[in-house]
Amino acid sequence: MTARQMKLGAFLWATGHHIAAWRHPKAHVTAGIDIDHYIQLARTAEAAKFDMVFCEDAAGLREANIGIASQTSRSIGFEPISLLSALAVQTSRIGLVSTASTSYNEPYGLARTFLSLDHLSGGRAGWNLVTSASPIEAANFGATGLKPHADRYERAREFAEVVTGLWHGKASGHNGQSFSVRDPLDLPRSPQGAPVMVQAGASDVGRDLAARTADVVFTAAQTFEEAKAFYDDLKGRLPAYGREPDDIKIMPGVAPVVAETEAEAREKYEELQELIPDDVGVALLSSYLSISDLWRYPIDGPLPELPESEGMKSRQALVIEQSRRDGLSIRQLARHFAGARGHWRIVGTAAQVADELQARFEGGAADGFNVMPSYFPGELDAFATLVVPELQRRGLFRTEYQGRTLRDHLGLKRPV
């Protein structure tokens, strides 16, 4: 490979990433439990030479209000390890990344499961480490509330250390603050050295954990400036851990709506936006802000002053920033963030979408992107058949896989 090329992940999510995808006339409403649907998506992404498919996850429901939860595009769906294990034997090259929580698992079991998926797939597995910021999950695991942000990250740091130690076949046991583990795993070394480590924490402590342990960072950024600032900050943290800029691939989320013409793309987008019920939009915005009473405020008025949160600090900051910058009302913010779940939205032709991706990639704000199609399979097909060939024509994306493992695709060093 000569020129630097971008990395692409296909974010899987039941019916689609747009919050109202399930109301779209082309929606596959029970997609979340249709394995043939997921096999089709993984094969489409593999044929388009994506680096990986990526499963977001939470242990359980996403919304405290079950009425609201049932009105979003992922009210039901497979648990991701079982899903990706099934996809492993229905694909041959594409990477398989799943989210799993450091709060509701034990490191020995998690290390074993991901290394098993890695062997099943011939070295294509990745773990997206999350600390689980939702009190909804906590309530299903015996906790009466969420642990403080700093405690979650301290546990996560030790958890990651134990897991990578097990993957790297370190013989000695671990005796730490939260965990003690005596034996090695009952599996040999990974075909790619170790599964790929992915992280998405964007707070200060989250960025430090990523700089210390992650191979890939998934992030949300609306503007070029936000993306660039995050990119430079994170890459700047690497030398402190003896790492080089290329050791981490930063891949923000992008929610494209693409069509043959710009007018068609806009029409598709507006059609989806109009399907968002206000109560669902406000509920999702509330959960991003980690507050429960947003519905009390006038929907056409401004965002109220918010208390310090123990939830997703970085998401909260993003919403507040956008609210101030554009003077948006609660309803406008809700629609804006609900549609793409806080991620970067591009609406246009293949050339327009490719222009935007190229600008962030070449401008040093991203090493690649996690693509979040509005609804499946239609919008993944549109990206694969319209945008990918455009990126390939520009020399910005591979036309064939060069290696067999996820580390090969991502151009990551093999751990020693």
Binding annotation: 57, 99, 149, 153, 203
* 147 vs 228 by CB, closer to its own copies: 147
> Any idea what the Cα angle at residue 92 is, between residues 91 and 96, rounded to 5°?
70
Distance CA 400, CA 349 (A): 24
- Is 331 an interacting residue with respect to its own copies (CB under 8 A)? no
- Applying CB under 8 A, does 384 fall inside the site for its own copies? no
Q: With contact defined as beta carbons under 8 Å apart, do 84 and 117 qualify? A: yes
Binding annotation for FMN: 57, 99, 149, 153, 203
Element holding 7 (H helix, E strand): strand 7-12
SS3 of 184, please? coil
Give per-residue burial for 108-132: e unless 16+ CB within 10 Å, then b: bebbbbbbbbbbbbbbbbbbbbbbb
Q: Which is nearer to its own copies, 119 or 266 (CB)?
A: 119
The correct pick among 88, 197, 210, 312 for binding its own copies (CB under 8 A) is 88
Cβ partners under 8 Å of residue 275, min gap 6:
20, 23, 24
Bridge partner residues of 101 (DSSP): 130
- The number of residues that bind its own copies (CB under 8 A) is 49
The full DSSP string for 252-299 is EEEEEEE-SSHHHHHHHHHHHHTT--HHHHHHHHHHHHT-S-GGGS-T
User: Using CB under 8 A, which of the segments 107-115, 292-300, 327-335, 385-393 binds its own copies?
Assistant: 107-115
Report the alpha-carbon distance of residue 380 to residue 16 in Å, rounded. 9
Task: Tally the C-alpha atoms within 13 A of residue 10's C-alpha that lie toward its C-beta.
Answer: 32
Q: Tell me the residue ranges of DSSP E strands in 23-154.
A: 52-55, 95-101, 125-130
From residue 163 to residue 202, the character string flagging contacts with its own copies as x (rule: CB under 8 A) and all else as - is ---------------xxxxxxxxxxx--------------
Among 13, 104, 230, 231, binds its own copies (CB under 8 A): 104
**65 lies in the binding site for its own copies (CB under 8 A):** no
Judged by CB under 8 A, does residue 120 bind its own copies? yes
Instruction: State which residue, 36 or 305, has the beta carbon closest to its own copies.
Output: 36
| H runs (alpha helix) in 66-148 | 66-69, 80-88, 107-120, 135-138
Q: Min. distance of Cβ 269 from its own copies in angstroms?
A: 28
Q: Verify binding: residue 112, its own copies, rule CB under 8 A.
A: yes
Q: Which is nearer to its own copies, 131 or 349 (CB)?
A: 131
Task: Report the nearest approach of its own copies to the CB of residue 144 (Å).
Answer: 8
Q: What's the first-to-final CA gap in the chain, in angstroms?
A: 23
Contacting its own copies (CB under 8 A), which of 65, 90, 358, 392?
Answer: 90
**If binding is defined by CB under 8 A, does position 40 make contact with its own copies?**
no
Provide the pairing of β-strand 344-348 with 249-258: parallel
Among 4, 92, 140, 236, binds its own copies (CB under 8 A): 140
Query: Among residues 22, 50, 54, 78, which is the contact residue for its own copies, using CB under 8 A?
Result: 78
Contacts to its own copies by CB under 8 A: 33, 35, 39, 59-62, 66, 75-79, 81-83, 85-86, 88-90, 104-106, 108-109, 112-113, 115-117, 119-120, 136, 139-142, 178-188
